[in-house]
Chain A
Amino acid sequence: MNWLNNLPLKRKLTLIILLTCSVVLLLACSVLAAYGLYDFRQAMVRDTTVLADVLAGNTRAALAFQDDNEARQTLQALESEPNVSAACLYTAKGNQFATYTRSGTKNIFPSQPAADGYRFERDHLVLFRPVMLDNRRIGTIFLQADLRGMYDRLRLFSGIAILVLFGSFLVALAISAPLQRPISRPILALAETARLIAKNKDFTVRVPPQGRNETGLLTDAFNQLLVSIEERDKALRTTNESLKTEIAERKGVEQKLQDQLSRLGLLHQITRATSERQDLQSIFQVVIRSLEDNLPVDFGCICLYDPATHMLTVAKVGIHSETLAMELVTNNQARVEIDQNGLAQCISGRLVYESDLSRLPFPFPQRLVQGGLHSLVAAPLGVESKVFGVLLAARKQPNGFSSGECEFIRQLSEHVGLAAHQAQLYEALQQAYDDLRQTQQAVMQQERLKALGQMASGITHDINNAISPVMLYTDWLLEHEQNLSPRARDHLATIQHAIEDVAHTVSRMREFYRQPETQLTLSPVKLNQLMQQVIDLSRARWSDMPQQRGVFIKMETDLASDLPIVLGIESEIREALVNLIFNAVDAMPEGGTLTLRTKVSKTTPPLVHVEVSDTGVGMDEDIRRRCLEPFFTTKGERGTGLGLAMVYGIVQRHGADIEIDSATGKGTTMRLIFQVPVTAPVETNKPETAFVIPARLQILVVDDDPLLIKSLRDTLETDGHFVVTANGGREGIEAFRAAHADNKPFAIVITDLGMPYVDGRHVAEAVKKMSPVTPVVMLTGWGQRLMAEGDIPPHVDRVLNKPPKLRDLREALVQCMQSAKS
């Protein structure tokens, strides 16, 4: 019955009506037909019985008198009864007496009559009746009636029934359409309305009213339902709208808060980063880099303001802004004129936001516009209302900055101002402190020497007296005693040198309190040569004497091959060096290594360093500070306390300087620093040792300073190397890792020390972790300080000072590659 359920209502109703009518009609017709058939049969039986009885009456005489002709003639009368197809007369004994067969039919009669009565066979009715004569049975009559008539009638009846059925079906069909309409129309209207509502979600539709019956009630209820749904829908929509608005507002607020938070985080990050740095350049660099990466901006730069010229000098341009800056020619050190644009306002201490630069006719904004930048924020960098610089942030799109971002930049600029100011203060403080200490030391020295000088003059006199005979006899012996063995003569010469030195020394004793004579006759001195002399001169002291005690001192020399010639008094310098060697030997009672070194400093103008280093007991800070004082000794009875004091005097007379690197147990390095004469002395420097330019190397250069990267790349590529540059530490590590993974590792890594986020130490560590043999050269402006403090970072093979000289760079590469090979 599913298909019935799925039928449309109209058709369903029609179908029900038609089905009902048809079934009832069919039932009625069937009953009528059955009854008709039954009646027909009864009538037939009746008629045939009557006929048989009449025939029996008419033929009894013939039967009684055995006149079969007569009987046959009587039976022949059946011709007029078309239903009867056969008849037969039997005698009382059951013999056939007379028969009748309808012409055209063929019959076999029963040979014996059956019991009286009738029965229906397939095609006919068979009837047996007695033939009576005066209550006596004299025979039996048999009749056979054809049922064709009955069947004809049945067929006719069926035809009529079908016609009636068909007709009534048509009539029902015709009538059902208008009849089912009152039921189906309202329901269909309901269904159509429901469909429309479901389709259009329009609850304002109503079903037309249908009167006061059940469907009418249903329609009314449906309409009422619609009214309430519509109201609810409306209310829901209103609520939804207001909710949406609220959500949008909240989202906006949340977004603002989020922005604020992220900017706060950025500010915090920048502030922390700046607080870790104390030089302006790196502070600026961190600020610009963070701005570019995290706000972000398309262009960031910091300019310093020079009130004297009323100009801005670009101090730092962000790495991403570099190309842009190149186009704008506002790269580092470029100058920007302060015209009547917003920069003037900014210099006066106000934050300036230009939302559309193309509207401004001044040259600087126009330059920015040419560079594709359309909105600009300029924030003053200042301390206590004194502006010393400007922070510029620009974006490509007009109106690129929100008020929150402007405020952020303003706050940032204040922080940067403060940090910069602090850095400046720190620098000044450091300078002042250093000055103060030097002054203090100088004053103390002066006071002591003054007192000591007076005392020394007396002593000098005594000593000069005492050594005079030695001098005299030695000279005499050398001049007059011809039979001296060459060895004796040699020893005497040494004694003569020594005595001369003593005399010099003593003569200088007086000069402790004397101002250094500027009129000293200085001659060119080859320090390397002098070094060899000194080693020979003091051999007894550092080699023979310790060996007698079973102590071994190893003498090493590290002499710079291209050492410039300095101006000085050879004997004095020799004396000072011998003194230093004696001290070094004394500092190594258990033996050790004594190193004599000469080298040229990287500074401009270059200085010549002469170093005497031992691996002995070293000095603590107190001793180190006082060791130059006369009569200060750590050697007890053996020491005079004059050695280093004399050295100091000699050094001062040469306008040179002395440095002492020492720590307890770490040995001592005494460094004499001579100035190289501005005009080259008569003997020029030896030609520079030709450096073997290293083979074509794959070099990774990591720096956050684009200009340095560029200069390094240019220089190294000129030398034939293959250079990969990385902007910042993280990128550098990634580049190295990628190359390492590709099995094309870099031969050497040159990295900057100070970089934001990931500095040179991390880069070196990462590189060594991946490939321990790859040399790492660190470039830094702090190189000297690092070396002085013995603070060469771990994982770094070589530290080079900024600015690196090509020569140093080559040397470093050669050395690193050699050590890497070994």
Chain B
Amino acid sequence: MAILNQTARRRATRLQHVLLVMLLAVGLKLSAQTAATKEYQIKAAFLFNFAQFIEWPADALTNTDVPFRIGILGDDPFGTALEDTVQGETIHSHKIIVQRSREIGDLKNCQLIFIDKSEKNRVADVLSELDSKPTVTVSEIDGFARNGGVINFYLEEKKVRFEINPVAAQNDGLKISSQLLSLGKIVQPARGGK
């Protein structure tokens, strides 16, 4: 019986290998078409997941009737991906609202703001606007975290990674989970850069 089982298992393994190869082939073709879309689907999920591991001060989200707002500043790279991700979900028992705007002023009530690359030149302004506000800022611009942003995406070996500036978060009264901290790359703010 044991021999039979082993044989059966070996067959199954071989089948998996075949499937894997096939999947890889399909994946390569797909990635060629929708590599950008796929990246932002992951980033959208990450945005949602960040909110799970970060605690906002009590006054920022007083009760559960207050919705959790995710703002997108600048161009929207996500398409429908973000809406797909948060559809029907809650963050810390709050409903989720996605707001898009080119002006930071429109997004001052948001608990989490994604700053697109299109706003690269206005980062310092935006950050100062949002200073002392319990807002998690996320971007994909080099040096964003070092310059006062909280979380910054970057790609490493075609995998989405992120940097975290815990000092900036702490200054804004946010508590970032140690689990999240252990996953991100910790960045210290540039001295005097602020």
Per-residue contact bits, chain B 9-24, to A (CB 8 Å; 1 contact, 0 not): 1000000100000000
- Residues of A658-689 at the interface with B, using a CB-CB cut-off of 8 Å, are none
Q: Determine whether B90 belongs to the interface, using a CB cutoff of 8 Å to chain A.
A: yes
**Distance (whole angstroms) from the CB of A706 to the closest CB of chain B:** 120
CA distance A136 to B48 in the complex (A): 12
**Distance (whole angstroms) from the CB of A75 to the closest CB of chain B:** 14
Pick from B103-111, B120-128, B140-148, B177-185 the stretch touching chain A: B177-185
A61 touches B9 (CB 8 A): no
CA distance A111 to B20 in the complex (A): 13
Per-residue contact bits, chain A 67-110, to B (CB 8 Å; 1 contact, 0 not): 10010000000000000000000000000000000000000100
Q: Determine whether A133 belongs to the interface, using a CB cutoff of 8 Å to chain B.
A: yes
**Distance (whole angstroms) from the CB of A135 to the closest CB of chain B:** 8
* Contact pick for B182, options A70, A111, A133, CB 8 Å: A70
Q: Determine whether A766 belongs to the interface, using a CB cutoff of 8 Å to chain B.
A: no
Which residues on the A side are within 8 Å of B180 (C-beta)?
61, 65
Which residues on the B side are within 8 Å of A134 (C-beta)?
52, 90-92
Which residues on the B side are within 8 Å of A135 (C-beta)?
90
B89 touches A136 (CB 8 A): yes
B9 touches A64 (CB 8 A): no
Q: A108-B9, A111-B16 are in contact. Are A61 and B91 (CB under 8 A)?
A: no
Residue on B with the closest CB to A68? B159
Which residues on the A side are within 8 Å of B52 (C-beta)?
64, 133-134
Q: Determine whether A62 belongs to the interface, using a CB cutoff of 8 Å to chain B.
A: yes
| Total contacting residues, chain B, CB less than 8 A | 18
Q: Determine whether B154 belongs to the interface, using a CB cutoff of 8 Å to chain A.
A: no
B89 touches A61 (CB 8 A): no
**Distance (whole angstroms) from the CB of B53 to the closest CB of chain A:** 6
**Distance (whole angstroms) from the CB of A686 to the closest CB of chain B:** 149
Q: Determine whether B46 belongs to the interface, using a CB cutoff of 8 Å to chain A.
A: yes
**Distance (whole angstroms) from the CB of A746 to the closest CB of chain B:** 114
- Residues of A98-140 at the interface with B, using a CB-CB cut-off of 8 Å, are 108, 111, 133-136
Q: Determine whether A410 belongs to the interface, using a CB cutoff of 8 Å to chain B.
A: no
* Contact pick for B183, options A65, A108, A111, CB 8 Å: A65
* Contact pick for B46, options A62, A65, A70, CB 8 Å: A65
CA distance A108 to B9 in the complex (A): 9
Q: A65-B46, A108-B9, A133-B52 are in contact. Are A60 and B179 (CB under 8 A)?
A: yes
**Distance (whole angstroms) from the CB of A520 to the closest CB of chain B:** 167
A62 touches B183 (CB 8 A): yes
Which residues on the B side are within 8 Å of A62 (C-beta)?
179, 183
Q: Determine whether B188 belongs to the interface, using a CB cutoff of 8 Å to chain A.
A: no
| Total contacting residues, chain A, CB less than 8 A | 15
Which residues on the A side are within 8 Å of B177 (C-beta)?
61
Interface centre among A60, A64, A111, A136 (most CB of B within 10 A): A64
Per-residue contact bits, chain B 157-177, to A (CB 8 Å; 1 contact, 0 not): 001001000000000000001
**Distance (whole angstroms) from the CB of B12 to the closest CB of chain A:** 8
Q: Determine whether A58 belongs to the interface, using a CB cutoff of 8 Å to chain B.
A: yes
Which residues on the A side are within 8 Å of B42 (C-beta)?
66
Residue on A with the closest CB to B42? A66
Which residues on the A side are within 8 Å of B92 (C-beta)?
134
Q: Determine whether B49 belongs to the interface, using a CB cutoff of 8 Å to chain A.
A: yes
CA distance A58 to B179 in the complex (A): 8
Interface centre among A66, A111, A135 (most CB of B within 10 A): A66
B49 touches A64 (CB 8 A): yes
Residue on B with the closest CB to A111? B16
Interface centre among A60, A62, A70, A134 (most CB of B within 10 A): A134
B183 touches A61 (CB 8 A): yes
Residue on B with the closest CB to A73? B182
Which residues on the B side are within 8 Å of A61 (C-beta)?
53, 177, 179-180, 182-183
Which residues on the A side are within 8 Å of B89 (C-beta)?
136
CA distance A60 to B89 in the complex (A): 17
CA distance A272 to B179 in the complex (A): 157
CA distance A65 to B183 in the complex (A): 8
CA distance A616 to B53 in the complex (A): 189
Which residues on the B side are within 8 Å of A58 (C-beta)?
179
**Distance (whole angstroms) from the CB of A420 to the closest CB of chain B:** 131
Interface centre among A58, A67, A135 (most CB of B within 10 A): A67
Interface centre among B46, B53, B89, B180 (most CB of A within 10 A): B53
- Residues of B86-118 at the interface with A, using a CB-CB cut-off of 8 Å, are 89-92
Task: Identify the 7 closest CB pairs spanning chains A and B, nearest first.
Answer: A61-B179, A64-B49, A65-B183, A67-B183, A134-B52, A133-B52, A61-B183
Query: Would you list 30 pairs from A and B whose C-beta atoms are within 8 A, ordered by A residue?
Result: A58-B179, A60-B179, A61-B53, A61-B177, A61-B179, A61-B180, A61-B182, A61-B183, A62-B183, A64-B49, A64-B52, A64-B53, A65-B46, A65-B49, A65-B162, A65-B180, A65-B183, A66-B42, A66-B159, A67-B183, A70-B182, A70-B183, A108-B9, A111-B16, A133-B49, A133-B52, A134-B52, A134-B90, A135-B90, A136-B89
Which residues of B pack against A, CB within 8 Å? 9, 16, 42, 46, 49, 52-53, 89-92, 159, 162, 177, 179-180, 182-183
Which residues of A pack against B, CB within 8 Å? 58, 60-62, 64-67, 70, 108, 111, 133-136
Given contact pairs A61-B177, A134-B91, enumerate 8 new A-B contacts (beta carbons under 8 Å).
Answer: A64-B49, A64-B52, A66-B42, A67-B183, A70-B183, A111-B16, A134-B52, A134-B90
